[in-house]
Structure 1
Amino acid sequence: MSATRPRQNAFSSGEIDPLLHSREDFQRHQTGTRTMSGFIPLRQGGFTRAPGSIYRGTTKDNKKCRRVPFQFADNDALSLEFTGLVMRVWRYGELVLSGGSPYELATPFKQNDLNKLSWVQDKDVIYMTDGEGPVQKITRLALDNWTIADAAFDTGPFKVQNLDEALTIQASAATGTITLTATGGIFSADWVGSLIRLAPTDIDIPKWVGNQTASVGDKVIFDSRIYELTAGTNTGLEPPTHEAGTVLTTGTTKYKFISDLVGLVRVTAYTDSNHVTAEVLKTIPAPIVAAATYRWSEGAWSVRQGWPAALEMYIQRFWAAATESEPRTVWASTLGAFEDFTPGAEADESFAYTISATQTQNKIQWLARGRKGIYIGALGEVYLGKSDTPGSAISPTTFDTELVSPDGSTKERPIGGHGYPIHVARGGFIVQELRYSFEEDGVRPIELSLPSQHLGGRGFGRGVWQSKPQRYGWYILGDGSLAVVGYDPDQDVLGWAVIPVAGGVVEDIDVTPGLDGGTDIVNLVVRRTIDGVTVRYVEEQALIYGVLIGTEPIHKAIHVFAASVFEPGAPEDTFTVAHLVGQDVYAWTDKGQHGPFTVPVGGSIQLPVEVNHAVIGLFDDTHMVETLGLQAAAKDGATQGRQRRLLDKQGIDVYKTAAGRVAAVERMFGSEPRELGQHDLLRRQIAADLTTAWSGTARVDANSGFADEVSLRFYPVGAAPMTVTALTPNIDEGGP
C-alpha cells in the first residue's frame, strides 16, 4: 500500500468518450473528464461554470422560428427572426418597433420550410432561399423599413443549349411583349416565369469590313453585335463597338446599335404547347424574327426546373447550387455583379459547373467559403472548388473540384473557426473540420468529435462559432441541450462539454457581434413549459468572461437561465419575473444568493434583503463534472486491478469561486456507482454570504472507502461562480 498525490493540471479535453476511459497513455485522457455537464473547458486548462442566459422575449406567437444574423456596421448588428410568412427584427436583445408594435415584414417563407433557409449578405442586402421558390432579396432601408422581392436574375443562368433541330422557336417581334411560336410541342404551363435565351441559326448579315462602299440602312455584324448604318456612304475606317445608341465612327459614318446576337425573354403566359407570350428583356436579333432557331436555352432556375437551395458569396461572385433538376450543379455570377449570370468564357464572366456522380445524385446541401476555395457539401461527399491553375483565379476555364471528404454532410451550414469549414457529417454523428495539410498538400477531414464521439449519439444539429472573447463552437444536440467545443489547433486544445438549459429545449441558435465590438453574442430560441403552457423564449447567452478574466464583480455573473437582470438604482427587495410563473428560481445579488423561490401568479418575489443588483432565473441541478478514475501509483508498476481509496485533504485549485460542492464516488465492477456525501468546496465561514470570490487551493475532506475505481464529482451551488483549475487528490492504493 502507498499513498500518492497525482496532480491533474488541466481539464481542457472536456468530457471524453467512454472508450477512452482506460487510455491513460492518451494525451486527452490526461486532460479529460468522465462527465462535463453545465461546465465548459477552458483553453487555459481549467473548467468553469457555463454561462446562463438572459430572457429577452418570445418568438412571434411562440412559434418555432429561424434566426438569421445581419451585421450592418461594427456597432449595428441584428438578428432577423423568421416564422411562417413573417420576419421580425431583433437588435441587441430588443425587438425593433414600428408605431409601438414589433416591426413585421411579410415573406414567402412557410413555417414548414424555415429549416431549409440558406442566405448570404452583401452590405445592406441579404439574399435568401428555401429552395421552394425564387431567391429573395431583402433590403434594409432603416431599422423599421425593409423590402423583399424576387432577386432580379434577368440574365441567367441557363441550362445547356438545345441541340435538337426539330425543336425550334421563332419570335414575333424584337422588343416588347411578343409571341413565341415553337415546333415540337416544347411548352407547358410551368414555363411561365422561365427565361429563354435565343440565338439565330442562320445569319444573312455580313461582317463589318473597313472602307467599303455602303448605303444608309445596311446592317453589319461586329464583335457579335448587329449595327445599322445611319449616315455616310462608306463602312468607315473604324468598326462600331458601342452597345447602345448611335455613334459617329469615322468621318461622316454613323452606326446605330441594333442588338446582340443573343436575345433574352421571360415567359409571361401559356397558350398551348407551341405558343407562349413573353416579355423581351434583351432585344431579339432580327434573324430570329425572320426565321425559327433551334439554338435556344431554357433558364436554369424556374418553377419548371426548380430553385437553388444553397447560397454563398466568394471572391466577388454570388454562388448558388442545387435545384431539383440539377442537384449537383454550382452556378457562379459575373465577377463583381452578383445578379448577372450572363454565360461566357472570359475570366470575369459567369459559369456553371456540374459535379459528376459515380453512384447516386447526392444533392448539394450547402456552400461555404474558406481558405483554399469554396467548399461544396453534398449528402454523400464534400468537395473543394478551386482554380486548377496555381496562381490563377477561379474563372469559367479554370474552375475545378476535388473530393476532400467522402463522409458527406447534413443540411446544416458549416461554422468557421479558423478559416476552414467545420461541418456535421452525414448522419449527424460526427463533426469534421476540413483543414489544409502541408504534408499532403491538400485539404483533408479532421474528426473533431472523435475524442468525445459518444456525444454524437444524441445527434449534432445546427451550430455557430463564437470568436470573442473566447473561441467556442456551440451545437444544438438532438435532445435539445447544447454541446460546446473549445478548439484551438495552435495550442492543441480540443474539448467538448454538454450544457443542459434548465429543462428547456434549444430549437435555434445564432451569433451576432456585441455592441462594443469585442464580444460575440450567442442567441438561443428555447422551448419551455411555463405554468403548463408551451412557450418559445429568446434567450441571450450571458458572458462570463468579464467576471472570470476581467474586473467585474462576481455579482455580475450569470449562471442561471431565462434570467432577468435588475439594476434598480436604489436598494430594493421586490422584483417581478412574470415569464417564470410557477417555476423555482434563484436570485444572485450583490448581497449574496437567495432562494429558491417559487414564482407566484403575477411574478413578484420578495427577497429577505434590499439589493442594488439581482439576477433571477432557473437553476439546472443536473450540472456536474466528474473526473476520470483517479490513478494511484505503486512501487511495483501499474495499479489496474487493485482497489484504491481517497483519503482526506484533496487539494483543489480554484479561481474566482464563490461556492461549489465536491463528492467522492466509488465504483465496483458489476455495481452501480455510489456517491458519498457532498462537501463544500469552500468553507462556509469563508464564503458564508457568497459575496466574495476566492482563488487558491481549497482542502476538502471528500474521502472514500476502497473500490475498484474512485473519482470526484463537482457540483454548482445555485448561481454562484465556480472555476476549478487543478486537482491534487490524496489517494491510497490497496496493494496486491
Structure 2
Amino acid sequence: MSRVSRDQLSFSSGEVSPLLYGRPDYQRYQTGLKSCVGFLPLRQGGVTRAPGTIFRGYTRNNAKARLIAFEFAKNDSLILELTPGWMRVWRYGQLVPAAGGGVYERTHPYTADDLDTLQWVQSADVIYLAGGGKPIQRLARMALNNWSIGAANIRNGPFRVQNLDKARTIQASGITGSVTLTASQSLFTAQHVGSLMRIEVRDYANIPLWTGNTDASVGQKMRYDGRIYELVTGSNTGPNAPTHDEGTEQASLDPVVRWRYLSDGVGVVRITAVASGTSATAQVLRALPDAIVDTPSYRWSEGAWSNVYGWPTSLEIHDQRLVAAATPSEPRTLWFSVIGDYLDFEPGTDADSSFAYSIAGGSSQNRVIWLKTGRSGLHIGALGEEYSARAERSEAMNATNAYFGFDSSIGSKEGIRPISPDGRPIFISKDGARVIEIAYDLQSDANKVVELSMPAEHLGAAGFNEIVWQSAPLRFAWLRTGDGQLVAMVYDPSEDVLGWAQCPVAGGFVEALAVSTDATGSTDTLTMVTRRTVNGQVVRMVEDQAQNWGVVSGSADIADAVHLFASKIFTGAGSSAFSVPHLAGETVSIWTDAGEFGPLIVPLDGTVTIPAEVTRAVIGLFEAGAVVETLPLQPIANDGAARGRRKRLGPQSGVTLHRTAAMRAAAVECDLGQADRTWPAMNLLPRPVAADLSQAFSGTVRSQLTSGWAQDVTLRFWPVGGAPATLLAITPILHEGGL
C-alpha cells in the first residue's frame, strides 16, 4: 500500500462532460470538476461562489420581456424592457420616471411572438430593430423619458431586379407630388401600399443628346452622361456640358448659359393607395422624368422590402453601412446602405453607393439568421452554414471589392444573437446544444470554427436560448437554457482558459438576459428577467447580478458579499426588522455584518425580524443545489495507473482557500454499480458553536476529511448561507491499496 499525494492547482475548466471521465491526460480534465454548480471557475485557476442577484422590480404587468442593452457612453447605460406592445427604461437598477410622475413607458409595435425573434443594432442614440414581419423600426432617444419609435424612413431603395417583360409597363400621370400609376397588366395589390417603386425611362425619343455651341431656346431639354437638363438661361448650349446633379448651375460665361438638373432618368415613388390591379396612387419621392409621363416604361423595379416580399430580419452596422438581410422572399440576400447614411439604399456604381449581395449555393431554406462584425470582416450566420465577407483591399467594403467566403456548415439557431468578444463571433449551433466560435487561423489564412462547448457538452442538453458577454471585471459569457437555467462560460483564449459552470438562481426560471455597464462605466452588470412562483403567484422579477465578492473587490467588508437570490440589501442605522414583501411566504437566508441568520419563512406582511441589530443585511433566497465536486482523485501509483484500484482518503488533506468565511466539505466514495456514499460533511473553517460568521480567511487548511476504501474518491464542497467562499487548490492525502 502506498501513501501518495497529488495537487490539483487549478479548476479553471469548471464542470466537464462525463464523456471526458476517461481522459485524465486531457488538459480540461486536469483542471476540471465533476460538478460546478453555483460556483464560477476563474482564469487564475480557483473556483469561487457565484454571486447572487438583487431584486429591482417586476416586468410590466409581470409579462414576458426581452431586454436590450443601450450604451451611449461610459457613464450612460440603460436597459430597455420590452413586453408585448410596451417599453420601459431601467437605469442602474431603477425604472426611469415619466415627466409628470409615475413610470415612463411608451408603446411599440411588437407582439410576444415578435420579441422572441427581434434583432437590433445601435448607432449613437438610435437603435434599429428588425423582425416580427414588420418594417425596420427606428427607436430614438431624445431624453431618458422621451423616446420615439416608428418605421425607419428608408430612402431610394433597395429594389428588386428590374422587370424585363416589355409588355408589362407603367405610366405616371405627373412628375411630382401625388400621381397615378397605370399598369398595362394587373400588378398592384393592397399589400403594395407603403412599398417603393423605381421607374426608369424606356427611351429618349424627345430628348436629344447635348451638343456644344448649338442654338437652343429656354425650356430645351437635353441629355449628358445619363442626366437630363433643362436650359433656363441662354439661346445657345455653350461650349461646356452641364455635369451637376442637383439645382441650377451656370455652364459658361460667354455666352451665359444656365442649366437646371432634372433627373438621371430614374424616378422613385411610394405607393399610398391601390384602386385596382392596374391603378395605384403614389407619392413621388424622387422626381419622375417627363418621358415616363409621355411614354409607358417596362423598366420598373419593385421595392425589395414590403408587405408583398417581406421585411429584413437581421441587422448590423459594418464599414459605416447599415446592413440588412433575409426577407421571406430573398432569405439569403444582404443589402448594404450608402456609406455614412444608414437610411439611403440608392443603388449606384461608385464605391460609396448601396449594393446588394445574394449568397449562392445551398438550399433556399437556409436563410440568413444573424450578422456580426468581427475582426476579420462581416460574419454571416445562416440556418445551415456560416460565411464571412470582407473587402479584398484595405478599404471599406463596396460592390466591386467585396469577397464572400464560406466558413463552416454548422448552421445557427434562429432568434439568437451572437456575441463577438475580441472580434471573434460566438454563436449557438442550429441544434441549440453547442457554442461555436469563428476565429481566424494564421496557418491556413482562413477562418476556422471551434466548438467551445465540447468539454462540457452535457450543459447544452436543454438547448441554449440566449448568450450575452460580460467583459469586466471578469470575462464571462452567460447563457440561458431551454429549461430556464443560467450557465456561465469563462473564456480567455490568450491564457488558454475555457471553463463552464451551472448557475441556478434559487428556483427561478431565467427568461431574458442583458449586460450593461454600471454607473462608473468600469464594471459590467448582468440583468435578467426571472420567472418565480412566490406565495403561489407567478411573477417575473427584474434582477441584477451582484458583483463577485472576494475576487475583484479588494478589501471589501465580508458583509458586502451578496450570494443570495432575488435579494434586497439594507444599510443604515442599526435595525432588526426589515421589509421584503416581494418574498412573502418564502424561505430566506439573511447575511449581515453580525453574521448569518435563518433560514426563516417571511411572514405574509413581508416583515422579517432577526434577534440582533445590524447596519447591513442581505435578505434573499438560498441556492440549495450549489456544490463543487472534484473529479476522481488520481494518485500516482508506483507500478502504473491507479485507475480501478481501491483508494482511501486519509486525514490532513490540504485545502487552500481565499477570502472564505465558511465552506462545508465531505469525501465521496464511488464504486461501479453502487450509489455514491457521502461521508458526513464538516466545516473547513471550524468555529465555536453559534459564533458569528464575521471574518474571511485565506490560506491552506489541513482538513480531517477521510473516506473508506473505494474504486474512486472525490471531494465535495458546499456553501454556507450567504457566506463567501473561494477554493484555490487541494492536496489530497490518498492511500492506494491495490486491486
Shorter-chain TM range is over 0.9
Matches of 1:376 and 1:491 in 2, distance apart?
28
What's 1:208 paired with?
Answer: 210
The residue type equivalent to 1:540 in the other structure is D
Which residue number in structure 1 is paired with residue 199 of structure 2? 198
Matched with 1:550 is 554
Correspondence for 1:703: 706
CA 19–612 in structure 1, closer or farther in 2 if over 3 Å, else same: same
Shift in alpha-carbon separation, 1:686–1:208, aligned structure 2, 3 A: farther
Bigger CA drift: 517-526 or 452-461?
Answer: 452-461
Equivalent residue, structure 1, for 2:101: 100
Which of the numbers 220, 223, 229 marks the counterpart of 2:222? Answer: 220
For residues 306 and 67 of structure 2, the distance between their equivalents in structure 1, rounded to whole angstroms, comes to: 27
Equivalent position SS for 1:415: coil
What's 2:251 paired with? 249
- Give the Cα–Cα distance (whole angstroms) in 2 for the partners of residues 136 and 360 of structure 1: 26
Structure 1: tracts of 5 or more residues without a match: none
Q: Is residue 643 of structure 2 the alignment partner of residue 643 of structure 1?
A: no
Residues 1:520 and 2:524 aligned together: yes
From 428, 431, 443, the equivalent of 1:427 is 431
Q: Tell me whether 1:665 sits opposite 2:668 in the alignment.
A: yes
Equivalence for 1:137: 138
CA contact (8 A) 2:204 2:291 kept: yes
Q: Aligned partners of 2:540, 2:106: CA distance in 1, in Å? A: 20
1:114 aligns with 2:118: no
Number of the residue aligned with 2:85? 85
Cα distance in structure 1, aligned partners of 2:598 and 2:534: 19
Write the mapping of 1:598-613 to structure 2, written as runs, cut at 5 A.
598-613=601-616
CA–CA distance in structure 2, aligned partners of residues 545 and 658 of structure 1: 12
Taking the aligned partners of 1:686 and 1:262, their CA distance within structure 2 comes to 88
Displacement, 1:548?
4.5
Letter aligned with residue 347 of structure 1: A
- Name 1:447's counterpart in structure 2: 451
Which one of 450, 463, 474 corresponds to residue 470 of structure 1?
474
Q: Say whether the 8 Å CA contact 1:548–1:656 is kept in structure 2.
A: no
Residues 308-345 of structure 1: CA distance to partner in whole angstroms, max 9, x if unpaired? 00111111000100111111110110000100000112
Asked whether 1:619 is paired with 2:625, we answer no
1:344, 1:396 within 8 Å by CA — same for their partners in 2?
Answer: no
Q: Distance in 2 between matches of 1:519 and 1:548?
A: 11
Q: Which residue of 2 aligns with 1:579?
A: 582
Task: Note if 1:726 corresponds to 2:714.
Answer: no
Distance 1:513 1:56, change over 3 A: same
CA contact (8 A) 2:465 2:482 kept: yes
1:345 and 1:551 map into 2 onto residues whose CA distance is 62
Which whole-Å CA distance do the structure 2 matches of 1:349 and 1:463 have between them? 34
Which consecutive segments of 4 or more residues in structure 1 shift more than 4 A? 545-549
Distance 2:395 2:82 in 1: 40
Give SS of 1:642's match.
coil
- Indicate conservation of the 8 Å contact 1:49/1:721, yes or no: yes
Deviations along 1:505-527, one digit per CA (max 9) or x if unpaired, are 00000000111111001001000
Q: What is the CA RMSD across the aligned residues, in angstroms?
A: 1.3
Does the 8 A contact of 1:425 with 1:432 survive in 2? yes
How far 1:258 moved relative to its partner? 2.0
Return the match for 1:345 from 345, 349, 353: 349
Tell me the CA shift for residue 360 of structure 1.
4.2
The letter of the residue matching 1:136 is Q
1:154 is displaced (CA, Å) by: 2.4
Match of 1:678 among 668, 677, 681: 681
Q: CA deviation at 1:653?
A: 0.0
**Amino acid of the residue matched to residue 68 of structure 2?**
V
Structure 2 stretches of 5 or more lacking a match? none
Matches of 2:155 and 2:344, distance apart in 1: 8
Taking the aligned partners of 1:171 and 1:668, their CA distance within structure 2 comes to 85
1:30 alignment counterpart: 30
CA distance in 2 between counterparts of 1:637 and 1:515 reads: 57
Answer yes or no: is the 8 Å Cα contact 2:37–2:625 preserved in 1. Answer: yes
Which secondary structure does the structure 2 equivalent of 1:612 belong to? strand
Residue 161 of structure 1 pairs with residue 136 of structure 2: no
Report the Cα offset of residue 21 of structure 1: 1.0
Q: How far is 1:392 from its partner?
A: 4.1
**2-side partners of 1:490 and 1:43: how far apart?**
11
Superimposed CA distance per residue, residues 7-27 of structure 1 (whole angstroms, 9 cap, x where no aligned partner): 000000000110111211111
Residue type at the aligned position of 2:260: K
Measure, in 2, the Cα distance between the counterparts of 1:156 and 1:33. Answer: 55
Q: Give the whole-Å Cα distance in 2 for the aligned partners of 1:234 and 1:686.
A: 109
* 1:631 equivalenced with 2:622 (yes/no): no
Q: 1:453 to 1:306 in 2, by over 3 A?
A: same
- Give, as a single letter, the amino acid of the residue that structure 2 aligns with 1:6: R
Match for residue 69 of structure 2?
Answer: 69
8 Å contact kept, 1:468–1:518: yes
Q: Deviations over 1:218-243 (max 9, x none)?
A: 11112322111111121122222333
Aligned 8 A contact 1:547 1:557 in 2:
no
* Percent of residue pairs identical: 49
- 2:293 aligned counterpart, secondary structure: helix
Q: Shift in Å at residue 363 of structure 1?
A: 1.2
Distance 1:14 1:142, change over 3 A: same
What amino acid sits opposite 1:85 in the alignment? G
> 1:289 & 1:38 partners in 2: Cα distance?
72
8 A contact 1:476–1:507 mirrored in 2: yes
